[in-house]
Structure 1
Amino acid sequence: MALIKPFKAIRPAPDKAAFVASRSYEEYSKDELKSVLKYNPFSFLHIINPGFKFHKNIAGKERFKLVHNRYLEFLEDNILQKDEQDSFYLYEISKDNLTTLGFFCACSVLDYQNNVIKKHEDTIQRREKLFADYLNTVGFNAEPVLMTYSDDDTVGEILKQEAAKRPDHDFTTPDKVGHRLWKVRDSKIIERLQRAFVKTEVLYIADGHHRSASSSLLSEKKKSKNASHTGNEAYNYFMAYLIPESKIKIYEFNRMVKDLNGYSKEEFLIQLDTYFRIEKKEDGLYKPSQKHHFSMYLDGGFYSLYLRKKVYTFSDALSELDTQILYKTILEPILGISDLRNDKRIAYGYGKHNVIKMKDSVDKGEFAVGFSLVPININEIKAIADAGLVMPPKSTYIEPKLRSGLTIYEF
């Protein structure tokens, strides 16, 4: 069973929520970040960019301490306020044609360690430790882990009933994303939701693998230093946003490679012929339409690549993934790219118009070849997680993307 707990969130003051909530730091361009910090004094970005106050770039432990200080200032100025009662927090996020309703809760570190909470991506130990040190110093987490569960009628009905009430926060951010949040404080509703998850055997991490791993590392560290450890301390849990698996949206990452590893165009196509039936497409943009089918843009033209299944071995859930197939048949053996995470010759793209961007990048000479894939689906993610396997880097781009600072979890 999956354990979920209500918690006392730190939230923006009602009239400040639209100004406080921020996107992930990495999503801002340099100019956009500078503009937000200059003109919006309530943005959560001021907390995680404390050096702006001193017109200085600050890193490491010094930055962590200053993040904590800025956080305390936001509390002292009532920009952020701590709830007095343990609650769940329903949250609806609307972008374009995608509306997702889920809820914030505290999930168990033990569930993560015991594989009740399952992952499909690998984590880097150095990043785990760095973020665990960060959490230990600042004393809070403002970025929830996105997790999914099998659709459940009981849970769906509870969320629907609560969402029919007046929200505590209701605003639209400048990027035209709608946000509504309801505080669920009724003990009977909380118990109903917890009982519904008793029969949920597994939760799947969709986004936030390093945050989960770091929370686990932090928990072990605090546990070892607490002679009175009971298991009920806040550090035994981490903040998550849970949504039914039918509501998750998964996009593909395209791959672009800077050169053909010494091959001419003709030699490269001959190499591809071992694993693929190749067809040149004459007109317009071309995207793949099914699994094990790829679109390639090379030297001003699109090609379809159909996998020759008689010469490729499907041995497990990982070998079925298109990202793994592309890696094992082209990127590694032909283009010489073995380290997908760190090799500077490969780049990744996502988004609604990414095929056009990929084509433009190749036409400009920034890359020699680009590959477009069909998005991975939730069943493939679950199969990888259930088998204890790990996807190649940049296999999925998952929405919704959550805001920082809308609910904050203190340790």
Structure 2
Amino acid sequence: MAIVKPFKGVRPNPSVAHKVAALPYDVMNREEAKKMAQGNPQSFLHVSRAEIDLDDDVSPYGDVVYQKAAENLKDMMKQGVLIQDEAPKYYIYRQIMDGRGQTGLVACASIDEYLNDVIKKHEFTRPVKEVDRINNFDFCNANTEPVFFAYRAQKEINKIIKAWTDGNEPVYDFTSEDDIGHILWVVDDLEKIDALEKLFKDVPYLYIADGHHRTASAVKVGLKRREANPDYTGDEAYNFMMTVIFPDDELLIMDYNRVVQDLNGLETDEFLEKVAKAFHVQKWQGEGPYKPEARHDFGMYLENKWYKLTAKNEVINEDDDTERLDVSILQKNLLNPLLGIEDPRTDKRIDFVGGIRGLKELEKRVKHDMKIAFSLYPPSMDELFAIADIGQVMPPKSTWFEPKLRSGLFVHLLG
């Protein structure tokens, strides 16, 4: 049973929503964030990346940064840049990229359901990465950014959401600088709010699609508040975290590709000979980079040439949900044994390139600072669900979701 609650959202004044909305905190570095927010005091980056308002020699993880974030959030609310709804509501958030739309429900989910595994995970988290958002949420007394959840599409939920978006005017409708459309509706009808809350109780699980660290951080802030308030009832705002929940049939997982600095001491001919033991190797004769079109096919860019690799049957374990993933096959049969990448989480010789950047980015990286690149076929939502359902995790950097949720369009105050 999924507990999904409406909340009193803090959101932009409609006249400035396009100025407030910002990319998530973790898709840019400090310099890029500062450039993005330059000349725009209403950008939500002043909350999610408050170090941009401080001297460059100030650590981005110092308390002064989180204090500045809290100050900026309060100022935006005082100035009317951000306003809070007086009653709990749901919000419907639609994004449109390249003509494809995805529509999710903005709501609060229970931290207990994360702890009880009703909210399913498919990645490990690293405590060191959680600390930053724990501090941001804690100092701001808010979930300043949403997490990206998915669920197996339910006909009745989709029906209510579609009827609302077809029959009501959105409060925001703008296109961001990266040509992605953002449309938001406020669901303020008590009957519809009640119906959605009841319908989600029949959804057995929610799945974290993107934002495992933000989710874990929100949960830990909630637990910290509980510890400070031992008489808590469970209804307090800090017992819930803000999320956008999408039906799985509207989501797109893009490829998440790899680049490696060297051939681990191997000569090119020797390397190709070793690759051929686990993969069928063909020189790519088509124009441009090779983009895999099916599971177990890979592209490889080496010495200014693209190759098509197809995993041999003997290295594919279709009986294991994790081992049969293409990222697992590549890691187990090439990256580890041939290139010496034992742990892709920590090895500095490997880097990862999201599919949104295109395969030309792989060529660019090889010409600039890498030796070899691999393009992959993306996993499916069914594969993600299957692994999460059995309590396993996908290999690191397996999924890249687009478009990214914009920050600043909704904030959940914790008390």
**Matched residue, 1:251:** 254
Corresponding residue for 2:294? 290
- d(CA) in 1 for partners of 2:57, 2:192: 46
Task: Answer whether contact 1:275 1:312 (CA < 8 A) is retained.
Answer: no
Q: Name the residue aligned to 2:70.
A: 68
Q: The residue matched to 1:330 in structure 2 has which SS?
A: helix
Shift of 1:198: 1.8
CA distance in structure 2 between the aligned counterparts of 1:131 and 1:73, rounded to whole angstroms:
20
Q: Which stretch shifts more, 56-65 or 109-118?
A: 56-65
Aligned partners of 1:272, 1:389: CA distance in 2, in Å?
A: 28
147-156 vs 42-51, which deviates more?
A: 42-51
* Distance verdict in 2 for CA 1:37–1:311, change over 3 Å: closer
CA contact (8 A) 2:97 2:179 kept: yes
State the SS of the aligned residue for 2:201.
helix
Structure 2 partner of 1:403: 406
**How far is the alpha carbon of 1:373 from its aligned partner?**
1.0
Query: Is 1:227 aligned to residue 230 of structure 2?
Result: yes
Q: CA offset at residue 239 of structure 1?
A: 0.3
Query: For residue 185 of structure 1, what is the amino acid of its counterpart?
Result: D
Q: Supply the AA of the counterpart residue of 1:229.
A: Y
Hey, what does 1:10 align to over in structure 2?
10
322-331 vs 278-287, which deviates more?
A: 278-287
Partner residue in 2 for 1:376: 379
> Which one-letter code corresponds to 2:3 in the other structure?
L
Distance 1:149 1:288 in 2: 27
Amino acid at match of 1:37: A
1:349 — aligned with what? 353
Q: Call closer, same or farther: CA 1:186–1:51 in 2, change over 3 Å.
A: same
Secondary structure of the residue aligned to 2:207 is strand
Give the gaps of 5 or more residues in structure 2: none
Q: Do the aligned residues in 1 keep the contact of 2:316 with 2:323 (CA within 8 Å)?
A: no
In structure 1, the partner of 2:24 is 24
- CA–CA distance in structure 1, aligned partners of residues 337 and 197 of structure 2: 49
Partner AA of 2:165 in structure 1: A
Alignment partners' CA distance in 1, 2:309 and 2:359: 16
Which digits, 9 at most, give the CA deviation of each residue in 1:42-83, with x for residues without a partner? 111223344544545533111111111111111111111111
1:15-43 deviation digits (Å, cap 9, x = unpaired): 11111111123434766543443311211
The answer as to 2:93 corresponding to 1:91 is: yes
Counterpart position of 2:38: 38
From the superposition, tell whether residues 158 and 312 of structure 1 become closer, same or farther in structure 2 (CA, over 3 Å).
closer
Q: Which residue of 1 aligns with 2:310?
A: 306
1:128–1:36 distance in 2 versus 1, CA, 3 Å: closer
Are the equivalent residues in 2 in contact too, given 1:282–1:301 (CA < 8 A)? Answer: no
- The separation in 2 between residues aligned to 1:50 and 1:324, in whole angstroms, is 38
Tell me: CA distance 1:331–1:180, structure 2 relative to 1, closer, same or farther (3 Å).
Answer: same
Residue 118 (structure 1) shift: 0.2
CA RMSD of aligned residues (A): 1.8
Aligned pairs for 1:43-54 within 5 A:
43-54=43-54
Asked whether the 8 Å contact 2:25–2:49 carries over to 1, the reply is no
Taking the aligned partners of 1:401 and 1:14, their CA distance within structure 2 comes to 21
Q: Where do 4+ consecutive residues of structure 1 move more than 6 Å?
A: none
1:318 aligns with 2:332: no
Instruction: Report the CA distance between 1:312 and its aligned residue.
Output: 4.6
CA contact (8 A) 1:51 1:57 kept: no
Alpha-carbon distance between aligned partners in 2 of 1:147 and 1:403, rounded to the nearest angstrom = 14
Q: Cα distance, 1:306 vs. partner?
A: 1.7
Q: Distance in 1 between matches of 2:27 and 2:220?
A: 26
Contact 2:316 2:324 in 1 (8 A): no
Question: Judging changes above 3 Å, is the alpha-carbon distance between structure 1 residues 88 and 257 closer, same or farther for their aligned structure 2 residues?
Answer: same
Q: 1:136 to 1:32 in 2, by over 3 A?
A: closer
SS in 2 for 1:371: strand
Shift of 1:235: 1.0
Secondary structure of the 1:154 match is helix
For residue 347 of structure 1, what is the amino acid of its counterpart? D
The alpha-carbon deviation at position 172 of structure 1 amounts to: 2.1
Quickly say closer, same or farther: Cα 1:196–1:372, change in 2 above 3 A: same
Residue identity opposite 1:4 in structure 2: V
The residue correspondences of 1:174-193 to structure 2 (distance < 5 A) are: 174-193=177-196
Q: Does 1:237 align with 2:240?
A: yes
* TM norm structure 2: 0.94
User: Secondary structure at 2:150's aligned position in 1?
Assistant: strand
Equivalent position amino acid for 2:160 in 1 = I
Counterpart amino acid of residue 102 in structure 2: T
Residue type at the aligned position of 1:159: I
After superposition, give the CA deviation of every residue in 1:88-123 in whole Å (9 maximum; x if it has no partner): 001111121221111100001111111111010110
> SS at the partner of 1:319?
coil
Q: Work out the CA distance in 2 between the residues paired with 1:182 and 1:87.
A: 10
Kindly provide the amino acid, as one letter, of the partner of residue 124 in structure 1. Answer: R
The total of aligned residue pairs comes to 410
- What is the Cα deviation at residue 396 of structure 1? 1.1
Identity of aligned residues (%): 37
Q: In 2, distance between residues paired with 1:36 and 1:130?
A: 21
Question: Given the alignment, which residue of 125, 129, 150 partners 2:152?
Answer: 150
Displacement after TM superposition at 1:131 (Å): 2.4
Cross-structure match for 1:281: 284
